[in-house]
Structure 1
Amino acid sequence: MSTLVVVGAGPKGVGLLERIAANAPEFPRGRLTVHLVDPFPPGPGRVWRFAQSPLLRMNSMPEDVTMFTDDTVRCAGPIRPGPTLAEWATGVRDGTIDATVHESLTTELRSVTATTFPTRRLQSAYLTWFYEQVRAALPDTVEVRVHAARAVDVTGPPDGTQTVRLADGSTLVTDIVVLALGHLDAAPGPEEARLAETARAHGLRYVPPAYTADLDLSHIAPGEPVLLRGLGLAFTDLAVLLTEGRGGRFVTGDHGALVYHPSGAEPLLWAGSRRGVPYHAKPGYRLHGPPAPLPRFFGPPQVDALLARPGWLDFDTDVWPLMAKDIGWGYYHELFTGHPDRVRMDLDEFAARYAAPDWDSGELRALVEKAVPGETDRLDLAAIDRPLRGLVFPDRGALTDHVRAYVQADLTRRGSASFSADLGAFLALLSVFGQLAQLVAAGKLTPVSQVDGVDGWWFGFFSFYASGPPAHRLRELLALERAGVLRFVGPDMRVRVEDRRFVADSPAVPGTVETTTLVDARLPAPSARRATDPLLRNLFHRGELAEELLLDAEAERSTGRIHTTTEGLVVDATGRPHPRRFALGPHTSARSPGAFTRPRTNAPGFRQNDAVARHILARAAQPR
């Protein structure tokens, strides 16, 4: 009999359990006891728990969310298909799937479709059902025990059993430990810590990056001006909780425009960021033409060539041009096949002439100008990345007018299928994301390229363009602005402390904004060093867990992620992997995506879970 402790029973931990259930029949001699340790319910875990605001929604459509493998997943274990969130909701409605759903979800369950955006509570119900299905599928050789507690430490030698200590003082003795902790909370970084100390000295209130649903916002008074730094998903959640969450109402007014009726309990929200505009809305349509054959310019042959090249790779010069070329190919393939009336060239001719030039070359720009007459139909990734770059506004009213028009134009593009080329680029972004993972895993990028290029700029651009909120959230932001509840600071937002006030400004617009509260509206950056989780903190301080450190002849950079091998084994401060400890999730050096898996994408998370599950089962099958 072998024992496994999985610390974290959210989607990652329960996804590993599913792979154990699927692979266990191949290891009939192995008996395994699995302890799931998490103070939150197994399946949803912390982030997707039912006990959160019913106003908070996913930023993925139900058809794009699955917890089940399909025939695209290249793994050694068996494929166990199952319903996407959309198929599950349909099955529960028509009675073909037996699931217990809270009565508060009845109305939503009746109305949700494959392309609407469900509440996080409905996703919680799907994950709970998934966990129940996994438990039911376990063979007699695998037993599961759930501990609604927090793990605070793990000790044990590489060649011996491990002891996991829980917050209540009890212990679990085990052969293998898997840390499936998901997104990590972290103490403020150096810049944030300095800001927090300055705020305390001046009697100001500063809220550092954190998971929005867990924030206590009760100290923010009605009518109080509040600075929100960041315009991404965390900002969207904050805006919901501080407006509709305080009793305000959105109604449809004349000409179909959304109107916000304040309750009077809202603060005055001042929002700014580096770009100065909210994330792009998720597309609300499907492709008009056939999917582009992807990858084409950043696929296995190009990745293999980069891996074979001696020396380090630079992201900006060696990698990004190939990625951008594939993103452009996805975009223009859909424009040519889905909207042939808006181009002046046959697709075959365009494809042949598109193949040779570099992405940022004059030859390629000339080809696009010749083939695509409409300027708004041409893909400009630099302009997408920094839409307000170089603009200067005479006053805040002009800035507001411009941001309002920008958001409305984005809603038009993401809501009208005549702009489905944007979806072609979106799908190409997903393709290059997966290819890039191979270069990252091989350690070929310079430390600066990895930390600043990939973990910094690329992940930020990907989130901005492809991982934004549902379109209705942007319509709500426009309604909040019209109601005077939300105002914009501007791009390249700067914050300082003066005369017992936070003072914010932007180089693009005259004037300043002063408040006594600042909220950093984003999740904490990965940091094993500053993790607040007691288990990680203890392991790090003893040197049994380390941050991923990258160095070459010119630079040494920490990514902040938990250092693991490609198989997921935890690496200590001396560089040695611990054969009995795994760490899985987005904050490890394996860099599995934090978002849910899209169906039919050969998802890396499924492949990693399968490999770790088979390792655990093989060990359990060995004579003790």
Structure 2
Amino acid sequence: MSAQDPAARPSLVIVGAGPRGTGLLERIAANAPELYAGSDLDIHLVDPYPPGGGRIWREEQSPLLWMNSQAQDVTMYTDETVAMAGPVREGPTLHEWAGIDGRTFAGRRRQGAYLRWVFEQAVAALPPGIHVHHHPRRAVRVDGPREGRQQVWLAGRDRPLPADVVVLALGHLDAELDPEQSALSAYAHDHGLVHLPPDFTADSDLSALAPGEPVLVRGFGLAFVDLVVLLTEGRGGRFERGEYVPSGREPVLHVGSRRGVPYHSKIGYAWEGERPPLPRFLGPAEIDGLLARPAGFDFRRDVWPLVEKELGFAHYHRLFTAHPDRTRMAWTDFEEKYAAGDGAGISALVASAVPDPADRLDLAALDRPLDGVRYSSPEEFQEGLRTYIEEDLTRRHDVAHSPDLAVFLGLLSVYGQLVRLGDIGSWWHGFFSHLASGPPGPRLRQLLALSRAGILSFVGADMTVVAEDGVFRARSATVPGSVTEARALVEARLPHPTAERTGDSLLRALYAEGAAATPEGLLAVHPGDGRILDRSGTPHPRRFALGPHTDARGSGAFTRPRTGGPAFQQNDAAARAALAFLRALSCRVAA
């Protein structure tokens, strides 16, 4: 067969054309001149949603939904801070591309348009002979021998796509209901109630939530913020001068969660001055040491103390260098003692050197601010939590508290290091999101207005929900003895798919056929290039996976500029490995 025969041309299939698939394509375009120049290649993108934005960032969604990052903090392009073998190809941030104020929290539609443009630029940058084909379908199965061509089967298509290499860039996935959710849904069905299980809020059918009716909401993160927007402004309400003017079509939302508070507000000021020199106590050498332990490591025992010390270093470096009047010791002396100390020794050092407790970093209090806190009535708790949110907003928008921004930078540094450890459990990701990935300040001000208007009520921490006596009932130890009843329950959080419970049939089939998964249910991949591992730990030569369904999940498919971009590093490594494999394969065929 000639090289021009489509069946004989080398073929790369990327399942998922959202930001992760687009980022991979950008890295293929960047590396192809070195690794694959002068050869033909078909790249097939399989995704029922438009390339670039994919499902989550598609342009066809409510204009009311925002990003939770400022436009200046969003880029799809590499820079010299990314540790990768491929070339840097710089490009505009969202705010540079859109020509908007960098401090703007852009709508998701605009981000979708940016991602579509990045995709188009990546396609245009591919060398001659490399052609991209988009298939607006779902991939349902991958099969084929380890040492031979793969076959990718698409929904509604009789013939599979031939693939010399397959990359799964699936993004966030749906999941089958777990036993608790199944029981709640069954109870709702039997008793005429409404139960909306974990889902992508923009895709949820909210029409069953009736105006004026109480609704229990479990989850206080970004999915909850989207829910509130769609049920208030999305139903004709509006905000005027800090107050909410209802349309009369809103339900009454009663929200609680494990922490019982919303994520911390995004920081509302820019960095100025010297940055903390990170990493300091949790860098590549420390990660190498953890990975080299014959008996493995425990996150809480072995990793968390390093994380805590790193974040503390970032915090106190900023406090001592930017606000020295609030300290009692020279930074050089403090740093020397801090580096040598741990645990109780560091606590004593901080107590002696930082007189105001408000200037000391207390990660436990930041993580669980309602632990041990009790209110005598629901009304008292509403006022107490409004005060908490107001104080958080004030602090996160006051440069006098700039050590908070240093901790944010520390969190980004830590996240980039922890990616190498694989599946470290879900706690760290929740902690990171609570501190570093919260909503824009204006959204929290809207929650305050909705609380004052009686549209939103707070339930408390460690919220439990039971289905009994024909209703859902919520309780929290924050307000002892208080019970909230409703005939509707919304689980305001993303699904947590495992390889066994994922709603994606392709991934579930791979797991059933022998692909390895971690205890958390994440697909196990080689940390170097993302090749899928089998249960003996052997990488598949032709199958790769990138993204949140893997144990090499990074902090996002896009990131803020000049922060290392772990996902960009992974994309580059996978692109280079795939191109090198395809080049070697084409040389063997030619010979």
| Short-chain TM bin | over 0.9
Matches within 5 A, 1:40-51: 40-51=49-60
Q: Distance in 2 between matches of 1:315 and 1:539?
A: 28
| Equivalent pair of 1:30/1:620 in contact (CA under 8 Å) | no
AA partner of residue 517 (structure 1): A
Match of 1:131 among 119, 131, 135: 119
Q: What residue is the counterpart of 2:3 in the other structure?
A: none
Q: What residue is the counterpart of 1:278 in the other structure?
A: 262
Q: Distance in 2 between matches of 1:17 and 1:303?
A: 29
1:232 aligns with 2:221: yes
Q: Give the superposition deviation at 1:310.
A: 4.0
Match of 1:403 among 379, 385, 388: 385
Q: What residue is the counterpart of 1:264 in the other structure?
A: 248
AA partner of residue 321 (structure 1): P
Residues 39-91 of structure 1 show CA distances to partners (whole Å, capped at 9, x for unaligned) of 1111111110000000111111122211111112222222111111122123x
1:32 aligns with 2:41: yes
1:157 aligns with 2:149: no
Q: Give the superposition deviation at 1:378.
A: 1.3
Q: What residue is the counterpart of 1:523 in the other structure?
A: 494
Match of 1:179 among 159, 163, 168: 168
**Secondary structure at the counterpart of residue 559 of structure 1:** coil
Q: Give the superposition deviation at 1:545.
A: 3.5
AA partner of residue 329 (structure 2): M
AA partner of residue 195 (structure 1): L
AA partner of residue 195 (structure 2): Y
| Equivalent pair of 2:23/2:557 in contact (CA under 8 Å) | no
| Equivalent pair of 1:30/1:618 in contact (CA under 8 Å) | no
Q: Distance in 1 between matches of 2:252 and 2:198?
A: 20
Q: What residue is the counterpart of 2:130 in the other structure?
A: 142
Q: Distance in 1 between matches of 2:415 and 2:248?
A: 44
Q: What residue is the counterpart of 1:255 in the other structure?
A: none
Q: Give the superposition deviation at 1:576.
A: 4.6
Q: Distance in 2 between matches of 1:201 and 1:302?
A: 54
Structure 1 unmatched ranges of 5 or more: 91-111, 253-257, 442-449, 550-557
Q: What residue is the counterpart of 1:552 in the other structure?
A: none
Shift in alpha-carbon separation, 1:319–1:540, aligned structure 2, 3 A: closer
AA partner of residue 66 (structure 1): T
Q: Distance in 2 between matches of 1:191 and 1:497?
A: 11
Q: What residue is the counterpart of 1:372 in the other structure?
A: 354
**Secondary structure at the counterpart of residue 543 of structure 2:** strand
AA partner of residue 4 (structure 1): L
Q: Give the superposition deviation at 1:618.
A: 2.2
Identity %: 56
Residues 506-557 of structure 1 show CA distances to partners (whole Å, capped at 9, x for unaligned) of 112132000111111111113111111232234344x1544x13xxxxxxxx
Q: Give the superposition deviation at 1:128.
A: 1.0
Q: What residue is the counterpart of 1:341 in the other structure?
A: 325
Match of 2:81 among 72, 90, 110: 72
Structure 2 unmatched ranges of 5 or more: 1-8
Q: What residue is the counterpart of 2:204 in the other structure?
A: 215
| Equivalent pair of 2:216/2:490 in contact (CA under 8 Å) | yes
AA partner of residue 389 (structure 2): V
Shift in alpha-carbon separation, 1:619–1:456, aligned structure 2, 3 A: closer
Matches within 5 A, 1:162-561: 162-170=150-158, 171-252=160-241, 258-358=242-342, 360-361=343-344, 363-438=345-420, 440-441=421-422, 454-509=424-479, 510-541=481-512, 543-546=513-516, 548-549=517-518, 558-561=519-522
Q: Give the superposition deviation at 1:427.
A: 0.7
Q: Give the superposition deviation at 1:322.
A: 1.3
CA RMSD of aligned residues (A): 1.6
Q: Distance in 1 between matches of 2:198 and 2:157?
A: 31
| Equivalent pair of 2:220/2:262 in contact (CA under 8 Å) | yes
| Equivalent pair of 1:286/1:420 in contact (CA under 8 Å) | no
| Equivalent pair of 1:274/1:492 in contact (CA under 8 Å) | yes
| Equivalent pair of 1:6/1:35 in contact (CA under 8 Å) | yes
Match of 2:30 among 1, 14, 22: 22
| Equivalent pair of 1:184/1:526 in contact (CA under 8 Å) | yes
Match of 1:8 among 3, 11, 16: 16
**Secondary structure at the counterpart of residue 334 of structure 1:** helix
Residues 494-515 of structure 1 show CA distances to partners (whole Å, capped at 9, x for unaligned) of 1111110000011121320001
Count residues with an aligned counterpart.
574
Residues 293-345 of structure 1 show CA distances to partners (whole Å, capped at 9, x for unaligned) of 11112223333333444422222222111110110111111112222222222
Q: Distance in 1 between matches of 2:547 and 2:458?
A: 35
AA partner of residue 606 (structure 1): F
Q: What residue is the counterpart of 2:5 in the other structure?
A: none
| Equivalent pair of 1:183/1:594 in contact (CA under 8 Å) | no
Q: Give the superposition deviation at 1:573.
A: 5.3
| Equivalent pair of 2:532/2:544 in contact (CA under 8 Å) | yes
TM-score between the two structures when normalised by the length of structure 1: 0.89
Q: Distance in 2 between matches of 1:314 and 1:202?
A: 44
AA partner of residue 373 (structure 2): L
AA partner of residue 426 (structure 1): F
Q: Distance in 1 between matches of 2:33 and 2:77?
A: 18
| Equivalent pair of 1:31/1:620 in contact (CA under 8 Å) | no
